[in-house]
Structure 1
Amino acid sequence: MPQIGTTERAVRLGEVPVLSANGRYLVFRYFFGDLVSGTTPNNDIYLIDLVTKQIQLVSVSPTGNQGNNYSSTYDSLSISADGRYVAFASDATNLVSNDLNGETDVFVRDTLTGTIILASVSSTGVQLGANTLDFNLSPAISANGQFVAFQSQANNLVPNDTNGDDQDIFMRDLSAGTTLRVSVNSNGEQTRPWNIIASADSRNPSISGDGRFIAFESNAINLDPRDTGVNNFDIFVRDRQTGQTRQVSVNSQGQVATGASLQENSIGYPTTTNGSSNPVISANGRYVVFQSGATNLVPNDTNDRVDIFRHDLETNETILISVGIDDSPANGGSSIGVSRNGAISSDGRYVVFQSLASNLVPNDNNNAADVFVRDVIAGTTERISVNSSGQEAVGGRAYTNSGDATISDDGRRVAFLSRSSNLVNDPFAPFSYSIYLRDRQTTDLTPPPVLPPPVFPQQQVTPSPSSSPTYNSGWVSNLLTAPSTANPFVAVNSIPTVTSSTGLSLPSASSAQAGAWWF
């Protein structure tokens, strides 16, 4: 039976795509300054409304200029369920006033009102300390945009942070204006390394929709009594309501992972194995997916490859996601990828991942990484990195063909990166990445309603290190005039449109700027 669905190119040369849960908005990183007038080449963050095709610069300063340094160079992005709020990291110093720490910071942009706020501050508004050397803050935002989790080596965001330069996980409540550390054990103790010369780093947070649960990876030995004390990264979940922290890289009997788990290179593919990686928690807070080379998480795991697993926090069941045809082990390594914040649907039913395996679906003959969706309820695996005729991606390079995928809540839309030359008609594709959008159905997309926003107070921020007085940055305005709720985006380019086979209104090929947009 032919595969149903359509594949279109969303952005040529774009990177780190993340879909909103409702499937309408796509946030991504883009270097070339040709999407919004007045910008120059720089790693910036943009957002596209996939219904109206309107595009907005996210990493923009209070005075209307693009950020004066790179944004999310090493980081994932995160977007609220309705696409209104975008969390990202940036080295720019002009996104809010008086940003004096000279460090990578976390920002949250309200794309409805055109305001931006600094999120990586303490409860008293102190910026993370200078010389923190945080290159990767991995921000993750809750469904309504109220809570932002991130990682940092800073020791001045919460009291009694005395574990040196070890990375911790923090959560900022933008409504309450408070910051707390979540990488602590059930007794509230900070992380401890396995020996005195090692570090106890916690990283890659993922947050549930209501902000109650935060999943993260850590090589600390004191977060769960079951931890064996080996210097491997494991997966943990912190419940802010009960104060419990527990390890979830365990099998269904509660035994901790043995063997090793993925460490990935810059594009998210397996290199060596040493610790558990890339946890993603479902919006309902029940399921955590992660990648692992452990051999004891499920029975008969004999493929000697990194696999994808899903752990149920209610039943404690752990299942294999990257399963081959007839439930056989995958014959290639699998990864969640850089765009991990959108790797699982809110109810945990759909999981998207990338894999070098050739036995997950029939007729996988391209000898390259592909994108797959696992439907846990139906027990099916579908390859996503195909063109609208169902042909597999070709023309890319092994380890760099297709990946970094993110999925909408209903499992219908998947955005991913690829260098393939045949997903659309593009002879230059093998030489550079493009972002593609796969619609697994063919009916029209009905725009979802705009959700009511949470109420955030004005932000009090104190520069650090500095003896300067505390100032009130408020919610600074950006380049765009604050739009109405009926039309939350301002078109920055006038681009003719045509109608695609999906029923979406897409820009015509002749009007596309420098590789942006479709076709």
Structure 2
Amino acid sequence: MRDTVRLVLSAAVASACAATLLAPASALAAPDRQQGPGAPSLRRVTEGADGPSGQASVSADGRYVVFQSSADNLVPGDTNASADVFRHDLRTGRTTRVSLTADGAQIPYGGHTPVISATGRYVVFVSRGAVAGEERTGYVRRDLRTGRTDRVGGDEDLYPAGGVLTGASVSANGRYVSFTARQTGTGRPGHRTAVRDLADGGLTVLESAWAGEAHLSDDGRRLVYWESVPAPVKYPPDRVFLRDLRSGAERRLDVAVDGSTTTARSGHPAISGDGRRAAFASWATDLVPGEDPNGEGDDVFVTDLRTGKIRRLDTPAPPGFATDPSLSGDGRYVVFGFTPRGSVHGVTHLYRTDLRTGRTALVSRAPDGTPAAATTSGRPVDARGRTVAFTSEDGALAPGRAGQGGDVYVRTLN
């Protein structure tokens, strides 16, 4: 689901697996048909875009959405024939371009893969030529208040022989940025992750040679990541870790009830803005007490990082598997992808679960109440868990002119 690094799933195994979510059966089995005043609302951000749009990320207050788009009709003067990064103000309806140089000129190579800081002031994205005199492709951080753009880092910081950037995360105040690269040109490529402190320029590279899909807490102190270890087996082991960047302490999160480390595959980690909870997907059946009604197959789990208690989110019906969780700022809400068993490979529907009440709501809901295929990216949900940004190629989700090749949408839930 996420447009970053994914766990490799076998289609045969995925079709046989089922995921569960902690909510009444009717909460997920029946379409969400709330209507009238106060009902959840949906808007298309990329109205009439003449190119595909995606990789949406939302600020903590739910006001700003940043995204990438290949369209050249979203703002005047877009003539670089490249994908660019844009910011949409949900209060005013105004869209502006983010991937600009410090003096406001468009970047010939554009920009892509953005993530916005919780405050909405900073946007981190991949570009080339955004910083004067810098022609290397890499992550940059743009200050939307001052226009200043600083280089964060690139694949050469992790793989001198070359690599491909695969994702980034940013602290609330924009000071810390984590980024990941995948090694290329080898038979057994790994993933490496680093964290840049833009206050002093310091770079911390994680010791693991397979650390990927990393996400920072709002204060930049805690980092979750998954480790997929290449091995000469069909299904290599995947594990989820939490690292305290201040103390250097690290611990594994996918731990079985008896305290042992599970041998099942785990990945797609997320962390709440306050650093209190983490979430991940796993095939493990021994992370929580009792029998897993689905057996092996992707479920979403939430860990209380203070107590170590793990909670599985159950979805009794329809059969399928859940993955790619994201957490609201206080960790109360979990947004995740759900793929019904037997559906077309890659078709994922989005849901949100309230961990306090157990209620599950359909986020990617079509006008007739049925689920639509959709994907999310880094920081897709606001601090309160009410605003969710996602991408879908279903042009009928909202009224108005659909964009070409996929649109960015924002759902507001009660």
TM-score range, shorter chain: 0.7 to 0.9
Unaligned stretches of 5+ residues in structure 2 = 1-31
Q: What is the aligned partner in structure 1 of residue 29 from structure 2?
A: none
Query: Offset of 1:368 from its aligned partner?
Result: 5.5
Query: Offset of 1:425 from its aligned partner?
Result: 3.4
Q: What is the aligned partner in structure 2 of residue 138 from structure 1?
A: 167
Relative distance call for 1:137 and 1:357 in structure 2 (3 A) is: closer
Q: How far apart in 1 are the matches of 2:247 and 2:374?
A: 40
Q: What is the aligned partner in structure 2 of residue 31 from structure 1?
A: 70
Q: What is the aligned partner in structure 1 of residue 408 from structure 2?
A: 435
Cα contact 1:151–1:205 (8 A) shared by 2: yes
Query: Offset of 1:144 from its aligned partner?
Result: 1.1
Partner of 1:371: helix, strand, or coil? strand
* Cα shift readout 1:69-112 (whole Å, capped 9, x = no counterpart): 2533xx4x32111211011122x2x2112224x4x311001111
Relative distance call for 1:253 and 1:80 in structure 2 (3 A) is: farther
Work out which of the residue numbers 221, 224, 227 in structure 2 matches 1:215.
Answer: 224
In the alignment, is residue 151 of structure 1 matched against residue 143 of structure 2? no
Q: What is the aligned partner in structure 1 of residue 46 from structure 2?
A: 11
* Cα shift readout 1:413-446 (whole Å, capped 9, x = no counterpart): 11112222432236867x73211111124xxxxx
Query: Offset of 1:121 from its aligned partner?
Result: 7.4
Higher Cα radius of gyration: 1
Relative distance call for 1:86 and 1:392 in structure 2 (3 A) is: same
Cα contact 1:106–1:137 (8 A) shared by 2: no
Relative distance call for 1:44 and 1:421 in structure 2 (3 A) is: closer
Unaligned stretches of 5+ residues in structure 1 = 155-163, 184-189, 192-199, 222-229, 261-275, 359-363, 395-400, 442-519
Cα contact 2:322–2:336 (8 A) shared by 1: yes
Q: What is the aligned partner in structure 2 of residue 512 from structure 1?
A: none
Q: What is the aligned partner in structure 2 of residue 242 from structure 1?
A: 247
In the alignment, is residue 314 of structure 1 matched against residue 306 of structure 2? yes
Query: Offset of 1:2 from its aligned partner?
Result: 4.4
Cα contact 2:273–2:383 (8 A) shared by 1: no
Q: How far apart in 2 are the matches of 1:403 and 1:26?
A: 15
* Cα shift readout 1:109-141 (whole Å, capped 9, x = no counterpart): 11111111001179xxxx738864332241110
Q: How far apart in 1 are the matches of 2:93 and 2:399?
A: 21
* Cα shift readout 1:440-465 (whole Å, capped 9, x = no counterpart): 24xxxxxxxxxxxxxxxxxxxxxxxx
- Identical positions, percent: 28
Partner of 1:215: helix, strand, or coil? strand
Q: What is the aligned partner in structure 2 of residue 83 from structure 1?
A: 120
* Cα shift readout 1:319-348 (whole Å, capped 9, x = no counterpart): 123x21xxx376112231xxx7xx211111
Work out which of the residue numbers 382, 385, 400 in structure 2 matches 1:411.
Answer: 385
Name the count of aligned residue pairs.
359
Higher share of residues assigned strand: 2
Q: What is the aligned partner in structure 1 of residue 349 from structure 2?
A: 370
Cα contact 1:252–1:317 (8 A) shared by 2: no
Cα contact 2:138–2:165 (8 A) shared by 1: no
Cα contact 2:330–2:384 (8 A) shared by 1: no
Relative distance call for 1:329 and 1:297 in structure 2 (3 A) is: farther
Runs of 4+ aligned structure 1 residues displaced above 4 Å come to: 129-132, 426-429
Partner of 1:42: helix, strand, or coil? coil
Q: What is the aligned partner in structure 2 of residue 168 from structure 1?
A: 192
Relative distance call for 1:22 and 1:297 in structure 2 (3 A) is: same
Matches within 5 A, 1:252-271: 252-260=257-265
The two structures have a TM-score, normalised by structure 2, of 0.78
Q: What is the aligned partner in structure 2 of residue 506 from structure 1?
A: none
Q: Which amino acid letter does the alignment assign opposite residue 416 of structure 1?
A: F
Query: Offset of 1:383 from its aligned partner?
Result: 0.7
CA RMSD across the alignment? 3.0
* Higher normalized contact order (CA 8 Å, seq sep 6+, divided by chain length): 2
In the alignment, is residue 43 of structure 1 matched against residue 83 of structure 2? yes
Q: Which amino acid letter does the alignment assign opposite residue 312 of structure 1?
A: D
Cα contact 1:79–1:87 (8 A) shared by 2: yes
